[in-house]
Amino acid sequence: MKPVIKIQGACLRPVTDEDEAACLALLRKPDVRRYLCDDRVLSGPDMRNMFAQSAAQDRDGLGLWMIENRECGCLGLAGLTPVGEPLHNLAAMRGGVEPVIAVDPALWGRGIARQSLAALVHYAELELHLGALVAAVDAPNAASHRLLEACGFRRNGEARGKAYDLLLYKRPISGPRLAQIAP
The residues that touch ligand COA, with contacts defined as CB under 6 A, are 32, 35-36, 101-103, 108-114, 137, 141-144, 146-147, 150
Nearer to ligand COA, 26 or 130 (CB): 26
Nearer to ligand COA, 1 or 62 (CB): 62
Give the CA angle between residues 119, 121, 125 to the nearest 5°.
115
Buried b or exposed e, range 14-41, using 16+ CB within 10 angstroms? bbeeebeebbbebbeeeebbebbeeeee
Question: What whole-number distance in Å separates Cα of residue 98 and Cα of residue 93?
Answer: 9
Smallest separation, CB 109 to ligand COA (Å): 5
Nearer to ligand COA, 29 or 58 (CB): 29
| Helices and strands (DSSP H and E) totals, the chain | 6, 8
Smallest separation, CB 157 to ligand COA (Å): 16
Nearer to ligand COA, 51 or 169 (CB): 169
Smallest separation, CB 77 to ligand COA (Å): 9
Residue 38 · residue 162 · CB < 8 Å: yes
Smallest separation, CB 45 to ligand COA (Å): 21
